[in-house]
Amino acid sequence: MKQSHIAIAAIGAIVIGAVGYLIGVEVTGRGPSAAVTEAAVKDYLEAHPELLAPEPVTVAGLSDEQREEVETTIRTHLIANPEIIRDAMEAFQHQQEEADRVAQVAAIANNKDLLFASERQVVLGNPEGSVTLVEFFDYNCGFCRRALEDMRELIAQDDNLRVVLKEFPVLGEGSVEAAQVSIAVNLVAPDQMNAFHDALLSQPGQVDGDVALAVAEDLGLDTGALREKLEADEVNDTITEVYALASELALTGTPSYVTANDVVIGAVGFDALKDRIASARESCGPETAIC
C-alpha cells in the first residue's frame, strides 16, 4: 500500500473520531455553532494526542521508519489544516439532516390519516381548504405565542388554507392541564374553540388548568360541563395520540409544523410558513385525497 493511501485512511479514522466528539459537544439542532472553528478543532486535537498517534498500522512492506513518517505527516497535516475536520463535520451534519428529512417525509405518509383527518383535532381556517398546515403547540410555549399572529395572518390571506391544531404539551404539568381543558372545550363547544385558543395562547405568564377554565368562563362557556368532560377518556386519548405522532415525526419541540411533504420545527416566521404551504400545494395533484 502506498504511503499516501495509508495517510488518507488514517486521517479518515481520526476525522471520524474528532467529528463525532465535536458534533456531540458543539453542534446544536440548527447546525455547527460559532464555537466550532478551526481554533476549536486545533485545541481539540492538541488536547487529545491519542487521536494523532493511533495504534500502529501493520502493513506488509512498510518499515517502522516509514510508519513513523506517515504518522508524523498526519499529525502535521491535521494541525496545519484543521478545516479538514470542520468540512467533514459539516458534510456529516448535512447527510444526517437529509436522512432525518427523508424519514420524516416517510412518517408523514405513514400517518397521514391521523395527521390530517383525525377526529381528535381542531380545524381552523377553511375546513375544505386545498392545503393543510398542521401545528403542534404548547400553551406555555413563548415561541408558539409569538407565532400566533403568523397563523392568523396566514389564514386571513389564504382562503384555501386549512389549519389543524395538535395539542402537544411538553412544558410541564401546567401545559398538560391547559391542553386537557382545551380538548374539553372542543368537545363541549367546538364553535368557540378558535376564540378560546387565541385567548389562552395570548395569556401572559404560565397557564394551567385553572387559568384555562377562567379563560373559558370569560368566553361564557359552561365550566361545570367542562370540568365534567375533563374526566372523559377522550381527553387523555387525544394527548396520547399526539404524543405518538410527534414521536413518529421526531418532533423535538414547539411549535412544529407539518404539511403533506415537509416538517418544520420552530417558529420560522410568516414568510417561511407561506413558502412551505405553497410548496405543499404545488406537490399535491388532483388525485391527492389529503393535502
Burial 154-182 (b: 16+ CB within 10 A, else e): bbeebeebbbbbbbbbbbeebbbbbbbbb
pLDDT of residue 261: 86
pLDDT of residue 4: 43
pLDDT of residue 46: 64
Closest CA to 100 of 215, 248, 203: 248
pLDDT of residue 225: 95
Model pTM?
Answer: 0.68
All cell numbers assigned to 260: 403533506
pLDDT of residue 31: 41
pLDDT of residue 287: 53
pLDDT of residue 50: 55
Beta carbons within 10 angstroms of residue 254's beta carbon: 26
pLDDT of residue 30: 40
Q: What is the pLDDT tens value at each position of the chain, 291 positions in all? A: 444 444 444 444 444 444 444 444 433 344 444 344 555 555 655 665 655 555 554 555 667 787 777 778 777 877 787 777 677 777 766 666 666 766 777 788 888 888 998 988 899 999 999 999 999 999 999 999 999 999 999 999 999 999 999 999 999 999 999 999 999 999 999 999 999 999 999 999 999 999 999 999 999 999 999 999 998 999 999 999 999 999 999 898 899 999 988 899 999 999 999 999 999 998 876 555 567
Residues 6+ apart with CB under 8 A from 240: none
Domain boundaries of the chain, sorted by first residue: 3-105, 111-283
Task: Looking at the structure, give the CATH architecture of the domain made up of residues 111-283.
Answer: 3-Layer(aba) Sandwich (3.40)
Distance CA 47, CA 41 (A): 10
> Rounded to 5 degrees, what are φ and ψ at 29?
-65, -15
pLDDT of residue 87: 72
Distance CA 65, CA 149 (A): 69
